[in-house]
């Protein structure tokens, strides 16, 4: 078979183009966008941004807004942990995700009530290779994201951490219990392992789980019950666990939610309720939930995802939730009082 000089030239040009494309791919950074720089996003995003600041392979950007965005742009993010303080300067800080271009990984740490609006802003940043990892309180975030971006790979995840945005651009972590769990039954294995290595290298206590649905529901048992009860009683975790009547209310909430999980065929490890109680008992006495904190400050709360959603599931599955319903009605009254004032 003989090729003309023009044919040889075309083949050479095609090979050269392929080499350039391959080189660009090798040289391009893996781009991570952390959406929501509050307690969760500030802590885990801060750890990532600090470690990969000078990396030629990983780029970490923050999506923040308002005074928080301006402060981090000007002064960096101050991250206060039990091991000390550090000021973190991410590659980019912006309230407009479209400025980032295509992104490889979106770590979503906004409050549940902001999820839909916030994630829609990433439309121009997402292609067939993008992965979205929600780290929200609740169990319905991946399903909500898939409705918006049905072709995108969406993983499951949850965190345990006592961290708060204590001032614009300042995140404080206490308790030294911060852990991140993530995984996906349908996710790309190579991507899952790669992201695990990114988190682990940054000093994050990360677990790539084969049973992530169980992990997410265990976290939901933990956060839904304690958020609802601390807000309802206006008490700290220590005040609840040290009082017989308060602890009985907590056990009633745990039982109702576990009954729902059982009806959804979530498989827990043995003695799950006692294990949840043990985890709560290991926290500092004065610890409270972020929802309780929001109630105290008169802020918008996650009552819909942490309390009302339980009642919704109970209705769908014919599982009684009288304690959740009683507390939800009381909390709604509190919210109405805040609004009227």
pLDDT value of position 334: 84
Q: Nearest to residue 105, comparing CAs of 49, 60, 150, 149?
A: 60
pLDDT score recorded for residue 340: 55
| Alpha-carbon gap, residue 223 to 328, rounded angstroms | 15
What is the model's pLDDT at position 83? 86
Note the pLDDT of residue 336. 78
β-bridge partners, 62:
34, 93
Measured between alpha carbons, how far is 213 from 155 in angstroms, rounded to an integer? 10
User: Which residues of the chain register pLDDT less than 70?
Assistant: 1-27, 338-341
* CA separation for the pair 53, 59 (Å, rounded): 8
- pLDDT the model gives residue 10: 45
pLDDT at 82: 85
DSSP string of 287-308, one letter each residue: ---HHHHHHHHT----HIIIII
Domains of the chain: 23-210 (3.40.50.720), 215-340 (1.10.1040.10)
Q: What pLDDT is recorded for position 25?
A: 45
Q: What is the pLDDT of residue 5?
A: 44
Contact 61, 100 (CB under 8 A): yes
- Residue 341 has a pLDDT of 53
* 250 closest CA partner among 268, 266, 267, 232: 232
- Looking at the whole model, is its pTM more than 0.85? yes
């Amino acid at each position: 078979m003989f090729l003309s000089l023009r044919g040889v030239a075309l083949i050479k040009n095609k090979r050269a183009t392929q080499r350039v494309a391959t080189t660009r791919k090798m040289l391009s950074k893996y781009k991570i966008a952390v959406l929501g720089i509050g307690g969760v996003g500030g802590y885990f995003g801060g750890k990532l941004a600090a470690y990969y600041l000078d990396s030629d392979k990983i780029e970490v950007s923050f999506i923040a807004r308002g005074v928080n965005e301006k402060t981090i742009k000007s002064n960096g993010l101050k991250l206060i942990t039990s091991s000390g303080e550090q000021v973190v300067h991410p590659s980019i800080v912006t309230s407009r995700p479209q400025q980032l271009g295509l992104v490889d990984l979106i770590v979503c740490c906004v409050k549940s009530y902001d999820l839909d609006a916030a994630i829609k802003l990433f439309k121009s940043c997402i292609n067939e290779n993008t992965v979205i990892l929600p780290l929200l309180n609740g169990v319905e975030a991946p399903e909500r994201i898939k409705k918006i971006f049905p072709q995108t790979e969406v993983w499951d995840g949850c965190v345990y951490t006592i961290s708060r945005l204590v001032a614009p651009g300042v995140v404080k972590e206490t308790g030294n219990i911060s852990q991140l769990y993530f995984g996906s039954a349908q996710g790309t294995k190579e991507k899952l392992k790669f992201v695990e290595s990114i988190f682990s290298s940054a000093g994050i206590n990360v677990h790539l789980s084969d049973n992530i649905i169980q992990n997410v529901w265990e976290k939901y048992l933990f956060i839904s019950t304690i958020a609802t009860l601390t807000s309802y009683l206006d008490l700290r975790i220590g005040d609840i666990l040290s009082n017989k009547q308060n602890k009985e209310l907590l056990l009633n909430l745990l039982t109702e939610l576990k009954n729902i999980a059982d009806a959804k065929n979530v498989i827990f490890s043995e003695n799950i309720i006692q294990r949840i109680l043990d985890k709560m008992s290991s926290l500092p006495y004065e610890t409270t939930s972020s929802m309780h904190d929001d109630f105290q400050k008169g802020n918008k709360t996650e009552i819909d995802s942490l309390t009302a959603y339980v009642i919704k599931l109970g209705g769908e599955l014919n599982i009684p939730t009288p304690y959740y319903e009683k507390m939800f009605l009381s909390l709604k009254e509190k919210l109405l009082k805040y609004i009227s004032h």
